[in-house]
Amino acid sequence: MIDTIKFYIEYSIIGLLAFMSFLTLWFALERYFFLSKINLAKFEKKGELENSLTNNLTTISTIASNAPYIGLFGTVCGIMITFYKISENSNFDTSSVMLGLALALKATAIGILVAIFATVIYNGLARKVEVLMTKWEDLNEN
């Protein structure tokens, strides 16, 4: 039974992190194509332009900040399951314990990778938004 729980927790956490990566990539591509083709002259108000430029950036930022915590949650669950298995069996092998702990840490590693990916994407898009806002302000100085 404990192996079944471990299986579902592990694949749920990794699946959630994969979904977060997919969302980051999806929103990044959407923002990239939108920002590369935007017509700044059609915007009369700064707030309207800013809202249009920053759409979906909050989602990318949220993924970047929460992915490590989701990975850490998977690691904690994996370690708890490993300790539970140790307590069930008085004749445990240290190599199997180390293997269980090492496998538990993969969730944190994946979470950190997702966070790095999302942070790089967010920072690149945020810089593009700053450049476009400056261009719009230069157009409307007159």
* pLDDT of 140: 85
Tens-digit pLDDT profile for residues 28-37: 999 999 999 9
* pLDDT of 35: 94
Phi-psi sector, 56: left (phi>0), alpha (psi -120 to 50), beta = left
Query: What residues does each domain of the chain span?
Result: 2-139
Where the chain has pLDDT below 70, the residues are 142
* pLDDT of 48: 93
Taking the C-alpha atoms of residue 83 and residue 71, their distance in angstroms, rounded to an integer, is 19
